[in-house]
Amino acid sequence: MKKLSIQFTSVLLVGLVSSQLVGCATTTNKGAVGIDRSQFMMLSSKQVESLSSASYSQTLKTASDKKTLNTDPAVLARVRAISDRLIAQVPVYRADAASWKWEVNVEKNDQVNAYCMPGGKIMVFTGLIDKLNLTDDELAAVIGHEIAHALREHGRERMSLAYAQQGGLALIAAVIGSKKNAATSLDLAGKGTQLFFSLPNSRTQETEADRMGLELVAHAGYNPNAAISLWTKMGQNGSKKPAEFFSSHPADKTRIDDLSKLIPTVMPLYEQAKAGK
């Protein structure tokens, strides 16, 4: 009887998830840099964005409680101004992203890191700016790279692949779990954070974010050459102690070479944006 119950539960869980499967698709337009890879998506955008939103809200609360959230108005204004210019260009890759509920915040944290969670939830750590002494163009390159991850829904893709590879029980619990009380909501937020950060980007995803981010930067009127100096600085920083930003895929000559080859493709977009100001 116990074995039958387990089998029934498994079938039920599979049925619940199967009813929400999305399949394979490309999430963005090609753009000038030509991103056109078909992606494996078993979880819907709505599911993943809901999980990410809860996780981001919990992150903001934790930082606020620690008094590390948006502590410097000038830095916050700078990060938001740069982000706003980049966000204005997201319809180049997908029109629906313009209506995402974008949020941009800064956490006082020594880590050299930044991220954009599914649905447009951006966080920049002060360590990234301070330790690398970033120019506006270089900071735009970082944020553009992270926005590109969100536009391509790499987080959703990673979660979908993890579900397929591991049977998905933990992901099912996280995605379709009950939200009946505050404790459960906090638990879901924790799962969202764990899933987002514990499933590293693949080299393919990193390359896509590099290329798309470069184009976003150019469209926004930031010098795409700054991506080269940015990743050079990142690599030098990582040689002393691996930066959190490079925990899975450190910057190397291949990455910089790839970006260098694309500079002539996006430079006209940059020049056009500058001329239009």
C-alpha span between 91 and 266 (Å, rounded) = 16
Q: What is the pLDDT of residue 33?
A: 93
pLDDT one-digit tens code per residue, 206-248: 999 999 999 999 999 999 999 999 999 988 886 454 444 454 5
For 13-37, letters b (16+ CB in 10 Å) and e give: beeebeeeeeeeeebbeebbbebee
CB 43 within 8 A of CB 153: no
For the entire predicted model, the pTM comes to: 0.79
CB 170 within 8 A of CB 187: no
Percent of the chain residues topping a pLDDT of 90: 53
Share of the chain residues as helix, strand and coil, in percent rounded to the nearest 5 = 65, 10, 25
Q: What is the pLDDT of residue 14?
A: 43
CB 43 within 8 A of CB 160: yes
Catalytic residue, from 49, 107, 138, 146: name it: 146
Q: Choose between 261 and 46: higher pLDDT.
A: 261
- Six-digit token pair at 1? 């009887």
Q: Phi and psi (nearest 5°) for 57? A: -60, -40
**What average pLDDT does the structure give for the chain?**
80
Answer yes or no: 49 catalytic: no
Is a pLDDT exceeding 70 seen at residue 73? yes
C-alpha span between 163 and 152 (Å, rounded) = 18
H-helix segments, the chain: 2-18, 45-65, 73-87, 126-132, 136-151, 154-166, 169-176, 182-198, 203-219, 226-240, 253-275
C-alpha span between 139 and 237 (Å, rounded) = 15
